[in-house]
Structure 1
Amino acid sequence: MSPRLVFLAASALWLAMSCLGVGAGRLAEDKQALIDFLAAIPLRRGLNWSPSTAVCGRWTGVTCSIDGSRVVAVRLPEIGFGGPIPPNTLSRLSALQNLSLNSNNLTGPFPADFANLTTLTGLHLHLNSFSGPLPSDFSPWKSLTSLDLSFNDFNGEIPASISGLTQLTALNLSSNSKDEIFVSGKGRRRDRSPEKAVAGSQDANNRLVFFEGCTFAFDLEDLLRASAEVLGKGTFGTAYKAVLEDATTVVVKRLKEVGVGKREFEQQMEMVGMVKHENVVELRAYYYSKDEKLVVYDHYSRGSVSSMLHGKRGQERTPLDWETRLKIALGAARGVAHIHVENNGKLVHGNIKSSNVFLNDQHYGCVSDLGLPSLINPMLPPLSRTAGYRAPEVVDTRKASQPSDVYSFGVLMLELLTGKSPIQITGGGGGGGGDEVVHLVRWVHSVLREEWTAEVFDVELLRYPNIEEEMVEMLQIAMNCVARTPVRRPKMPEVVGMIEGVRRFDSGNRSSTEAISESSTPTPVQDAAAQTTPQRG
């Protein structure tokens, strides 16, 4: 080997060893910065951070670069931190890209030395108790794509320098000081909307729009990166369960066949976003572009009422008991009744069905998918999937009404009572070999005509004692709701009152019944003969 080649080989080896040494040294510095941070901050829960263990792959909440040379992310939500962030600790993590310390009890001003964290792309400090003004200069964080400082006690104006964060796709500064604050961007003052907080500047295109009170901090890229599970394909699109990097779980519905433009879409979303009720699944965010329309909701871990009623029945399945079915009906009724009094009494759900009803923590029903039918392309044929819920007078599901909502709710009640789907396909029999379509409402009418009322109810309910009278009362309410003539159907606040008359539950939620007209409220329980005779229109 020539002296020149020997020299080049030796130089390459020396350079490689030097790089390894520098990388190891920087990682050691990052590790010490984290140790110093932990030693100086109050903490209710223990962390497995120890000087004797490797920081990469071992320490809770810490992520290193692919080559293991630097700490690039610290995610410690709800860990129990308190007090101010110790100075000269986290700010020494010069390669840090993501810092998530949300949902702790951190106090004090925004850390001034965070200006050293120039590689940050995500900063999530929401749900803490930080106070004082925001930093006047956001230019050190020019790589930020996601910033969430909501639910703190920051005050004053939002600095104009935020408008220089050209990479920003998710911004949430809501729910801070009660003092008036405004977004100052692109050289002009812009009052902050009381109803929504926009991810990014207000006039930005094709960004997620978050509504007031939403604590999420993510962007479209986060959603696309999230692990996703298909929950179901419904009338208006496919719903996914998305779990983000910080363990936030949401439901994302990808809408199909949207037939309205951006302006009309946004107007409808803003109207829906203003509906706040504990029995209405809240719209948290939406996204509109030419090729993609998304809506984001909270995730309900128990799944839909449809899956509970019509999922596989066997030893591993827990049947819905009678009390839960009552609470599902009552909660959903309250939710729909509240919807009907919104927007001066002009709002309609338009797609009430068991797959759009979920259980909250108290096992009351909550209705989802509000306002979506009006977005669908009017050139499409009527949707067959909703046929079992569709009132007789409704030809086009995009033109639903409050009376047709009542009809759909009545079908939902019949589902809860019978355990049967609104439409069932059975073998035709008789040697013809064809299938027979059985509509639930027609089937219940036929059974009641033969005075076989007991045959209506789900066999899974027969195990519960002393509920026969309540079941018959609920059946009578359901049959009132599915009256063929719209004018013979009760209004939803009246339905709430009737269900509450079946059994009183301990619940502070009575807001949906305030609009009930006492003069028009029908008697919920008729005599025994009337209970087995459905009202017909």
Structure 2
Amino acid sequence: MAAALPLSLLLFILVSTLPLSKPDLEGDRAALLSLRNSVGRALQWNQSQSPCLWQGVTCEGNRVTVLRLPGSGLAGQIPVGAFGNLTHLRTLSLRFNALSGPLPSDLALCTDLRNLYFQHNQFSGEIPPFISRLQNLVRLNLAGNNFSGEIPASLNSLTRLGTLYLEDNKFTGEIPQLDLPFLMQFNVSFNALNGSIPAKLVKHGSTAFEGMSLCGPPLADCPKTTTDTPINSGSHSGRKKFPAGAIAGIVVGAVVILLLIVLVILYSKRKRSSKRTRAVDISTMKGTDVASDKAFPGDGEGGNIHGSAAAIPKEETVSGLVPKPEISGGKKLVFFPGAQRTFDLEELLRASAEVLGKGSFGTAYKAVLEMGTVVAVKRLKDVVIGHREYAQQIEKVGSMTHENLVPLRAYYFSKDEKLLVYDYMPMGSLSALLHGNRGAGRTPLNWETRSGIALGAARAIEYLHSQGSTVSHGNIKSSNILLTKDYEARVSDFGLAQLVSSSASPTANRVIGYRAPEVTDAHKISQKADVYSFGVLLLELLTGKPPSHSLTNEEGVDLPRWVQSVVREEWTAEVFDLELLRYQNVEEDMVQLLQLAMDCAAQYPDQRPSMREVVQRIEELRKSLIDEAEHNSSQRTTSVNDSAPPPSVLD
């Protein structure tokens, strides 16, 4: 009995405290319903359920701790009292709605707030004083609203603040002397601020201050004030007058320089127009360099070397892929064993061509031959090796065959032209699929498709690494992950890093955002550096954000650092692409893949897994997905309602 007494006492205490916590959750429910009734009538919250089961609501310890309603059609002014009972909120995200008016004053009671995301609404008025009393704030984003007045210096009291985004508002006056020790992300651009930039904010770069009358590093220097000279009693000015003749000379000189600039621009346009006319008229100008970069402007980062040609302007479609005269000097395309020889060099040169984009190693074209065959042709640039070495390297690349690699069919070498012929991938690149057309009508990539792409790409890279300890890809990024009609991954651009000059194509420009910290030489990309790049690729798949893209990635830092900062604050769900959050039954798998991505993107190479381990871990995730799908399929088979079609690859 003596041993049972403490247990009975403990049970009594636990049971007796349950009724006391109920009013807290009921108060949270009332506050949420007040918010919905005033600004969010479109929210489909089932009042018969616990508020912890409502869309965008997360609870801990019988209290609401997270309210995340981005892009949920909220509109109007939030009434005072909506947040007064939500005193345990740690994350409040109402971004991308149409909320207006001032911030509600009872938000001051949410002293546990760490993350406050109000960007891209229509809030107005000054930043209220109570914001400075939210001592636990780590991230504050008020960008894209109508806030006005001065930026308060009292923000210095937010000593934990790591993110402060105030751009695209109507703030006036000077930037206060902010001294926040943990501030990593900062932007006040496109307001009506003036004056000099405080020294402690210089590290955030010029983009944080653009669009205003600011001066000082990192922008242009502030104008120096003229010191008054000693004056005589009869003098009317303490400053030296600028001679009128000098002013006239400056004006005349400026006009002459302006006229010269205009003449140079007109001459350049006329010359470029003449070149384009000669390039397109291939029927009479057989030797013209139609496939030159000047004739086909583009960027393979936004589209892809094998991406869809639907976005290519019509004037960039020509009736022949005709390089320089040396290319037709009796030399032939060299086909690899197993490749169908359905065309020759002359037929390729006569093919109609569309620019797909400029990638890291050259310009790529979609070539449609006369018999209807479609191939992708990459015109290499900055190749610094001779014919024999080139042939040896390309033969090595062509010998690497795997179901998840883009097949290399043929190649050509001359003094002035180096061509590679690949299979054409009609679905384009993963980059275009993830980041293109995020508006209405977009077909989102579901979890099954994304995890399948990750596994296919991992298997291809593992195969490359199995060819020898010195073999690596060297340029892993989403624009080099191409897709078949069934959304299966095909890795491209492998084995080309050794062909080009590192000075002509700096590594930083080629793999920005994907480059491992230790990489300094384009010709020395280790397998562990490949693993890092693949980790960033996984993060891109999970977050929907392109690496190091300050406009799309609203936090404005590289993906690994951003994800680390988010996870550190126990805010994992906000990491994932909104298109993935609808698949609640796979949240555990998503978190596991996120952990794998962070392991791959570890700072030090010896802490990263091998690609073989990466493949095994993704296969385990996929196995659970397949097992669940088979289980659901068997249940549908035994059900009387088994006539419904199976889910498609894309929801």
- Asked if residue 339 in structure 1 is aligned to residue 458 in structure 2, the reply is no
SS at 1:475 equivalent: helix
Using the TM superposition, give the Cα deviation of residue 506 of structure 1 relative to its aligned residue in structure 2, in angstroms: 7.0
In structure 1, the residue matched to 2:230 is none
In structure 2, the residue matched to 1:463 is 582
Unaligned runs of 5+ in 2: 1-326, 628-651
Q: How many residue pairs end up in the alignment?
A: 299
SS at 1:467 equivalent: helix
Using the TM superposition, give the Cα deviation of residue 218 of structure 1 relative to its aligned residue in structure 2, in angstroms: 1.8
Using the TM superposition, give the Cα deviation of residue 362 of structure 1 relative to its aligned residue in structure 2, in angstroms: 4.2
In structure 2, the residue matched to 1:523 is none
* Structure-2 change in CA distance of 1:359 and 1:384 (3 Å): same
Q: Whole-Å Cα distance in 1 between the matches of residues 557 and 354 of structure 2? A: 32
Structure 1: 4+ residue segments shifted above 3 A: 426-429
Please, which of 490, 498, 504 is the counterpart of residue 366 of structure 1? 490
SS at 2:557 equivalent: strand
Aligned residue identity for 1:351: N
Contact 2:336 2:410 in 1 (8 A): yes
In structure 1, the residue matched to 2:596 is 477
SS at 1:503 equivalent: helix
SS at 1:424 equivalent: coil
Q: Whole-Å Cα distance in 1 between the matches of residues 489 and 553 of structure 2? A: 35
Please, which of 611, 614, 632 is the counterpart of residue 492 of structure 1? 611
Q: Whole-Å Cα distance in 2 between the matches of residues 470 and 370 of structure 1? A: 29
In structure 2, the residue matched to 1:314 is 439
- Percent of pairs with identical residues: 59
Q: Whole-Å Cα distance in 2 between the matches of residues 325 and 221 of structure 1? A: 40
Question: Higher RCO, 1 or 2 (CA under 8 Å, sep at least 6)?
Answer: 1
SS at 1:462 equivalent: coil
Q: Whole-Å Cα distance in 2 between the matches of residues 251 and 373 of structure 1? A: 19
Using the TM superposition, give the Cα deviation of residue 269 of structure 1 relative to its aligned residue in structure 2, in angstroms: 0.4
- Asked if residue 353 in structure 1 is aligned to residue 477 in structure 2, the reply is yes
Please, which of 373, 393, 414 is the counterpart of residue 248 of structure 1? 373
Aligned residue identity for 1:396: D
1:79-158 alignment, distance < 5 Å = none
In structure 2, the residue matched to 1:376 is 500
SS at 1:399 equivalent: coil
Residues 150-198 of structure 1, C-alpha deviation per residue, up to 9 Å, x if partnerless? xxxxxxxxxxxxxxxxxxx99xxxxxxxxxxxxxxxxxxxxxxxxxxxx
Please, which of 563, 571, 574 is the counterpart of residue 452 of structure 1? 571
Using the TM superposition, give the Cα deviation of residue 366 of structure 1 relative to its aligned residue in structure 2, in angstroms: 1.6
Q: Whole-Å Cα distance in 2 between the matches of residues 383 and 223 of structure 1? A: 34
Contact 1:241 1:299 in 2 (8 A): yes
TM-score by length of 1: 0.53
1:104-253 alignment, distance < 5 Å = 206-253=331-378
Using the TM superposition, give the Cα deviation of residue 454 of structure 1 relative to its aligned residue in structure 2, in angstroms: 0.6
SS at 1:358 equivalent: strand
Q: Whole-Å Cα distance in 2 between the matches of residues 399 and 499 of structure 1? A: 27
* Structure-2 change in CA distance of 1:244 and 1:446 (3 Å): same
Unaligned runs of 5+ in 1: 1-168, 171-203, 430-435, 508-537
* Structure-2 change in CA distance of 1:316 and 1:227 (3 Å): farther
Q: Whole-Å Cα distance in 2 between the matches of residues 452 and 439 of structure 1? A: 18
Using the TM superposition, give the Cα deviation of residue 427 of structure 1 relative to its aligned residue in structure 2, in angstroms: 10
Q: Whole-Å Cα distance in 2 between the matches of residues 427 and 277 of structure 1? A: 34
Q: Whole-Å Cα distance in 2 between the matches of residues 475 and 313 of structure 1? A: 22
Q: Whole-Å Cα distance in 1 between the matches of residues 601 and 479 of structure 2? A: 19
Contact 2:428 2:482 in 1 (8 A): yes
Residues 325-357 of structure 1, C-alpha deviation per residue, up to 9 Å, x if partnerless? 000000000000011111x34311111111111
Contact 2:563 2:575 in 1 (8 A): yes
Larger radius of gyration: 2
Using the TM superposition, give the Cα deviation of residue 226 of structure 1 relative to its aligned residue in structure 2, in angstroms: 1.1
- Asked if residue 287 in structure 1 is aligned to residue 416 in structure 2, the reply is no
Residues 45-76 of structure 1, C-alpha deviation per residue, up to 9 Å, x if partnerless? xxxxxxxxxxxxxxxxxxxxxxxxxxxxxxxx
Please, which of 246, 251, 269 is the counterpart of residue 394 of structure 2? 269
Q: Whole-Å Cα distance in 2 between the matches of residues 255 and 241 of structure 1? A: 15
- Asked if residue 298 in structure 1 is aligned to residue 417 in structure 2, the reply is no
* Structure-2 change in CA distance of 1:506 and 1:214 (3 Å): farther
* Structure-2 change in CA distance of 1:427 and 1:314 (3 Å): closer
Using the TM superposition, give the Cα deviation of residue 278 of structure 1 relative to its aligned residue in structure 2, in angstroms: 0.2
Using the TM superposition, give the Cα deviation of residue 379 of structure 1 relative to its aligned residue in structure 2, in angstroms: 3.2
1:26-105 alignment, distance < 5 Å = none
Residues 60-97 of structure 1, C-alpha deviation per residue, up to 9 Å, x if partnerless? xxxxxxxxxxxxxxxxxxxxxxxxxxxxxxxxxxxxxx
* Structure-2 change in CA distance of 1:304 and 1:445 (3 Å): same
CA RMSD of aligned residues (A): 2.4
In structure 1, the residue matched to 2:531 is 406
Contact 1:481 1:490 in 2 (8 A): yes
In structure 1, the residue matched to 2:455 is 330
Q: Whole-Å Cα distance in 2 between the matches of residues 216 and 241 of structure 1? A: 18
SS at 1:423 equivalent: coil
Contact 2:465 2:527 in 1 (8 A): yes
Contact 1:351 1:370 in 2 (8 A): yes
Residues 459-509 of structure 1, C-alpha deviation per residue, up to 9 Å, x if partnerless? 1112223110110010011011001110111110110000011122779xx
Aligned residue identity for 1:485: Y
* Structure-2 change in CA distance of 1:272 and 1:354 (3 Å): same
* Structure-2 change in CA distance of 1:427 and 1:207 (3 Å): closer
Residues 123-160 of structure 1, C-alpha deviation per residue, up to 9 Å, x if partnerless? xxxxxxxxxxxxxxxxxxxxxxxxxxxxxxxxxxxxxx
TM-score by length of 2: 0.44
Contact 2:545 2:552 in 1 (8 A): no
Aligned residue identity for 1:276: T
SS at 2:515 equivalent: coil
Aligned residue identity for 1:357: I
Contact 1:235 1:385 in 2 (8 A): yes
Residues 254-301 of structure 1, C-alpha deviation per residue, up to 9 Å, x if partnerless? 111111111111111011111111011111111111111111111111
Q: Whole-Å Cα distance in 2 between the matches of residues 375 and 402 of structure 1? A: 18
In structure 1, the residue matched to 2:636 is none
Q: Whole-Å Cα distance in 1 between the matches of residues 514 and 406 of structure 2? A: 20
Residues 393-414 of structure 1, C-alpha deviation per residue, up to 9 Å, x if partnerless? 0012221010001011111101
Aligned residue identity for 2:507: P
SS at 2:371 equivalent: coil
Contact 2:405 2:490 in 1 (8 A): yes
Using the TM superposition, give the Cα deviation of residue 227 of structure 1 relative to its aligned residue in structure 2, in angstroms: 1.5
Q: Whole-Å Cα distance in 2 between the matches of residues 501 and 427 of structure 1? A: 32
